[in-house]
Amino acid sequence: MAHIATRKGTIAILTGGGDVPGLNPAIRALTIRSIREGYRVLGIRRGWAGLIELDPENPESQREHVIELSIEAVNKVGRTGGTFLHTSRTRPSHVPRDNLPKHLSNKYDGEINDLTEEVLSNLSYLGVDTLIPIGGDDTLSFGAHLHQLGVPVIAIPKTMDNDVPGTDYCIGFSTCVTRTIEMTHALRTSAGSHERFLIIEVFGRYAGFTSLLPTMAGAANRCVIPEYTFSIERLCELLAEDRFSNPSRYSVALVSEGARFEGVETVYAGEEIDMYGHKKLGGIGDRISQKLKEISPTFNHGRRINVINQRLGYLVRCGDPDALDSMVPMAFGNLAMDLTLSGKSGRLVCVREGRYGNVPIEVVTSEKKVVNVEKYYNTDRLRPTYRRFDSKPLFIMTSE
């Protein structure tokens, strides 16, 4: 595999972190453009895991972890969701002993092991000239690390939370917002039939864009975001007011999974920690719903208001991409190839102020991208705030 001659070089593509609609269109665009420009294209399976689990001395391992991509192979899957290269939440520089590949188990004996050397060795063995990781800030942070070690890396931002610094848009965000709006409107029929509060938990570990933007679009009356610790009493009061003013006697709030209210910290679905130090979030919607039921009589003339509580979870990241998540990945893939042809690396392709471009890859580790609460969130009304749209970028609140 490593010794097949190429006209211009070899490009390797991998996808890391959570799946989102739009990954396959990006792989398709990259592959077709690269092959037409005279490059050989390799798909690394399971993200960074593929580059530590690959055993050069084992032909079966090579077939398992590396695929040579063709135009025919990517054409059909380019219309689908998920990633046909598969993915994982692997951090090569912090691999626990229990996760060591079998062929490396005698070489490393720490509780946590740095396998960066194995990644570099396997990239060299495969003859990779340019590595293109597609992922969020966790996945791309290791890409930035490889760039510092001399590997030509061009990164493509992906995350439905839209929280990769340096870009106004990440692959997966539009489909997430679209699905959130659609499902919230669908759930209104049940909320209205029973005259209840409707509490919907959506993705958003550190950043509240996935609840803020749908609320701005009219999907909900209120939203709570990770960037602001809110008062549950104030949320209940506002939802009760919204419910009373609605002829169908219901109201809706979107809840980011990383949201917190006074007296309750971030809620986790379990204690297990991934290689990037994150616990899986989930359950804040349950806590909010229970508390709202308890205190609702205070704001409803002594009568309790019941709650419909729904966690959207993987429903917003499964299935086919929407229009934007079909078009933007195509542009990102071609931007990455433009940089390759010009001999540039260490870059993150991006959209800024409505225009495609690229920025240094180091930006992904420079800061956390979160909602500017002062500019875009009304902390008293618990909803988006905006005054003028003239000359604003398309997604308004996601620009930096």
Instruction: Cite the active site residues.
Output: 161
DSSP class of residue 264 equals B
DSSP class of residue 144 equals H
Contact assessment for residue 14 and residue 73, using Cβ atoms and an 8 Å cutoff = no
Please give the Cα distance from 257 to 131 (Å, whole number): 32
Please give the Cα distance from 369 to 57 (Å, whole number): 42
Tokens of 400: 């930096």
Q: What are the φ and ψ backbone dihedral angles of 214, each rounded to 5 degrees? A: -60, -35
Contact assessment for residue 16 and residue 139, using Cβ atoms and an 8 Å cutoff = yes
Q: Which residues touch 107 (CB under 8 Å, ≥6 apart)?
A: none
Please give the Cα distance from 398 to 177 (Å, whole number): 13
SS3 368: coil
**Residue 84: which region, alpha, beta or left (left: phi > 0; alpha: psi -120 to 50)?**
alpha
Contact assessment for residue 163 and residue 206, using Cβ atoms and an 8 Å cutoff = yes
